[in-house]
Amino acid sequence: MGEFDAVYESWRADPQGFWARAAEDVVWTKRWDRVLDDSNPPFYRWFVGGETNTCYNAVDRHVDDGRGDQAAIIYDSPVTGTVETITYAQLQERTAAFAGALAALGVGYGDRVIVYMPMIPEAVVAMLACTRIGAIHSVVFGGFAAKELATRIDDARPKAIVAASCGIEGQRVVHYKPLLDQAIDLAAHKPDHCVIKQRPQEPGALTAGRDLLWEDAVARGEPADCVPVKAEDPAYILYTSGTTGKPKGVVRATGGHLVTLKWSMPNIYGMAPGDVYWAASDVGWVVGHSYIVYAPLFHGCTTILYEGKPVGTPDAGAFWRVIAQHKVKGMFTAPTALRAIKKEDPHGKLLAAHDLSHYRAQFLAGERCDPDTLKWAQDMLKVPVIDNWWQTETGSPIASNCLGIELLPFKPGSPTRPVPGYEVHALSPEGEQMPPGEIGALAIKLPMAPAALPTLWNNDDRFVESYMAEFPGYYQTGDAGIVDEDGYIHVMSRTDDIINVAGHRLSTGGMEEVLASHQDVAECAVIGVADNLKGQVPLGFLVLKDGVNREHAEIVGEVVQMVRDRIGPVAAFRKATVVQRLPKTRSGKILRATMQKIADGESFNMPATIDDPAILEEIGQSLQTIGYARKG
């Protein structure tokens, strides 16, 4: 038995003992009475009776251990030309000061605070300050539309909102303060106070009696100490989009969050205290919560806070510059970021200018990584490229090759095997386990790892309906895929991306894998469109690599033949169109469902998370040229 198998089997044999041992790495003010309360499934509670504090474990414990002079955060902002290092001692001072500012405004244990910030140090300070005094933060991606922000204000009912006057996206200034004002006007709930961090690129107008400057708020308060909270108390609420249009408030329990994320840093990511770790995401997303802010700080690492893009700030060598300059040991990003870099610098000329000899691993998550992008990254970086699979709801990886335990053989297109805390099965619509290699709904046997959501904010019924009702005893991930004969998971698509072509259930992700392997294709997407004869047929979208000047019809013909050769005529893949770019969320996920509605001529709501709405018009025009996107 290999080392990974031994660790995984130790969890399966005694899950409570496994997590109790992991919990010894957390500083508790009161030890738990029970590791797991499973008396009311599917509502599982971990470390019942225990008390701890998130901020203490992220900041103060390292100062108390004599490591206050170590860098906690390196803020690197190519859009403002700023690089700043903040030590653990400095972070403790700033966090205690802002926690005192919140307390002076009446924020206390159990109160909610919405954080609406760009990638600046104050965003991290605000998050930690909330956990320091037992308040619950809910970070909303900076620049989110006013209507979407308003729905989150009404659901969380925050006592205060912490915001910046603006954000900077590449060369563009995003007007946060007007969006915040509009959202508060739209919301039925009104916060008592808004604390505004003015940025020189665009200061915001303050509303008398409600708004005050960050610096003035800090001057009013006294530094606050850490407040012990119950292990089951929420550390934060993070909203994820829901099918009904009302966002779902994913709750993260304090104790389980601490234990799981602290365990993940050495075991999954192979990081040691003092190592420099970088998650190239945003604090508005779950990756930002878990692996920009909390896990690296829990483990005493140095975390990179990057305000920039993979390309354009200033070029496709931006990531390699950050890794080289700050001696990053491991970095986490979405496959779409690598595809953007690959499109502009396919031969890695910009990479060659940087010394990455200290670099140990490249981690990927957020969407399925196609084998072609994976191979490109391996060839360029000369380090393991490790795909993860996880969700906002789980808060940390469900499946990964565990660098800190044992690297298993790689299988392109697979995030490897489930990590301890997760037992994953591919299920039929009737809830039966599918044979190895056959596609089904990927579901996780309950209970899940302690960081996984215990419920939705103020909505237990929706928690059960959304995740637990379809397969009793399992959490329904919403992803479709296979578990192969070696136990490797292959996430093919969302369950709603399984298309039914003349009775055959086919994965659009499998077709995308074929398209992405074409030498001229930088990025691609496949959707199912309505067909009178077959019910649905697949339709491909191709973004070509820079410098490709061949006839589009010729390239389309080649990818059609490739799908026929590798998947078979049963796929009925006959049409594809070349587009300049694909519509995506700000976190890089392709908006396939919206593209499908456009292709089928259906009405749709503009996605709140879309990066650039103008792309949808371009997609519609491209579809019309091949006979789709026609209403009626």
Say what the pLDDT of residue 559 is.
95
- Average predicted confidence (pLDDT) for the chain: 93
For 555-575, what is the mean pLDDT?
87
Percent of the chain with pLDDT over 70: 97
Structural domains in the chain plus CATH codes: 67-227 (3.40.50.980), 502-625 (3.30.300.30)
Q: CA 281 to CA 291: how far, in whole Å? A: 9
Exposed e or buried b for every residue in 348-375, given b needs 16+ CB within 10 A? bebbeebebeebbbbbbbbbbbbebbbe
Give me 612's structure tokens.
């650039």
Q: Are 234 and 251 in contact (CB under 8 A)?
A: yes
Q: What are the phi and psi torsion angles at 219 (to 5°)?
A: -65, -25
Q: What are the phi and psi torsion angles at 82 (to 5°)?
A: -115, 135
Longest dimension (CA), the chain: 71
Count CB neighbours of 337 within 10 A.
20
Q: Are 544 and 578 in contact (CB under 8 A)?
A: yes
Say what the pLDDT of residue 631 is.
60
Q: Are 448 and 399 in contact (CB under 8 A)?
A: no
Q: Tell me the pairing of strands 166-169 and 45-48.
A: unpaired
Say what the pLDDT of residue 92 is.
98
Spell out the residues 6+ positions from residue 10 whose beta carbon is closer than 8 angstroms to its own.
Answer: 18, 420
Q: CA 476 to CA 386: how far, in whole Å? A: 24
The closest alpha carbon to 419, from 408, 429, 435, belongs to 408
Q: Residue 243: is its pLDDT beyond 70?
A: no
Place of tokens 């578990």: 483
Residue 37, H or E segment: strand 34-37
Tens digits of per-residue pLDDT, 165-213?
999 988 889 999 999 999 999 999 999 999 999 999 999 999 999 999 9
Q: CA 27 to CA 51: how far, in whole Å? A: 9
The closest alpha carbon to 137, from 169, 94, 95, 174, belongs to 95
Say what the pLDDT of residue 504 is.
63
Q: Are 152 and 140 in contact (CB under 8 A)?
A: yes
Q: Residue 146: is its pLDDT beyond 90?
A: no
pLDDT band at 503 (very low <50, low <70, confident <90, very high): low
Tens digits of per-residue pLDDT, 371-386?
888 999 999 999 999 9
Q: CA 231 to CA 296: how far, in whole Å? A: 20
Give residue 332's identity as a one-letter amino acid code: F
Q: Are 250 and 240 in contact (CB under 8 A)?
A: yes
Q: Residue 242: is its pLDDT beyond 60?
A: no
CA angle 532, 538, 542 (to 5 degrees): 140
Q: Integer distance in angstroms from the first to the last C-alpha of the chain?
A: 61
Tens digits of per-residue pLDDT, 433-491?
999 999 899 999 999 999 999 999 999 999 999 999 999 999 999 888 999 999 999 98
For 546-563, what is the mean pLDDT?
93
Q: CA 562 to CA 573: how far, in whole Å? A: 10
Exposed e or buried b for every residue in 145-179, given b needs 16+ CB within 10 A? bbebbbbbbebbbbbbbbbbbbbbbeeeeeebbeb
Q: CA 532 to CA 516: how far, in whole Å? A: 28
DSSP line for 108-163: -TT-EEEEE--SSHHHHHHHHHHHHTT-EEEE--TT--HHHHHHHHHHH--SEEEE
Put residue 131 in one of left, alpha, beta given phi > 0 → left and psi -120 to 50 → alpha.
Answer: alpha
pLDDT band at 508 (very low <50, low <70, confident <90, very high): confident
pTM, 2 dp: 0.85
Q: Are 530 and 536 in contact (CB under 8 A)?
A: yes
Spell out the residues 6+ positions from residue 507 whose beta carbon is closer than 8 angstroms to its own.
Answer: 439, 480, 481, 492, 493, 497, 498
pLDDT band at 245 (very low <50, low <70, confident <90, very high): low
DSSP conformational letter for 330: E
For 1-14, what is the mean pLDDT?
96
Least trusted range by pLDDT, from 205-214, 466-475, 517-526, 618-627: 618-627
Question: CB-hemisphere CA count at 13 Å for 504?
Answer: 15
Put residue 499 in one of left, alpha, beta given phi > 0 → left and psi -120 to 50 → alpha.
Answer: beta
For 584-609, what is the mean pLDDT?
82
The closest alpha carbon to 370, from 477, 526, 241, 505, belongs to 526
As a residue count, the chain comes to 632
Tens digits of per-residue pLDDT, 222-239?
999 999 999 999 999 999
Q: Tell me the pairing of strands 302-306 and 172-175.
A: unpaired
DSSP line for 276-325: EEEE-S-TTSHHHIIIIIIHHHHTT-EEEEE-S-SSSSSSTTHHHHHHHH
Q: CA 359 to CA 105: how far, in whole Å? A: 44
E strand map for 461-585? 474-483, 489-494, 498-501, 504-507, 521-531, 535-544, 575-578
The closest alpha carbon to 103, from 29, 181, 193, 236, belongs to 193
Count CB neighbours of 89 within 10 A.
17
Q: Residue 630: is its pLDDT beyond 80?
A: no
Q: What is the dihedral of CA 609, 588, 333, 86, to 10 degrees?
A: -40
Task: Compute the Cα dihedral for 6, 8, 14, 18 and give only its sign.
Answer: positive
CA angle 464, 470, 475 (to 5 degrees): 65
Q: CA 52 to CA 31: how far, in whole Å? A: 9
Q: Tell me the pairing of strands 160-164 and 330-333.
A: unpaired
Where are the alpha helices (H) located in 504-573, listed in sequence order?
508-516, 552-566
Tens digits of per-residue pLDDT, 311-353?
999 999 999 999 999 999 999 998 888 988 998 999 999 999 9
Q: Residue 563: is its pLDDT beyond 80?
A: yes
Q: CA 255 to CA 47: how far, in whole Å? A: 7
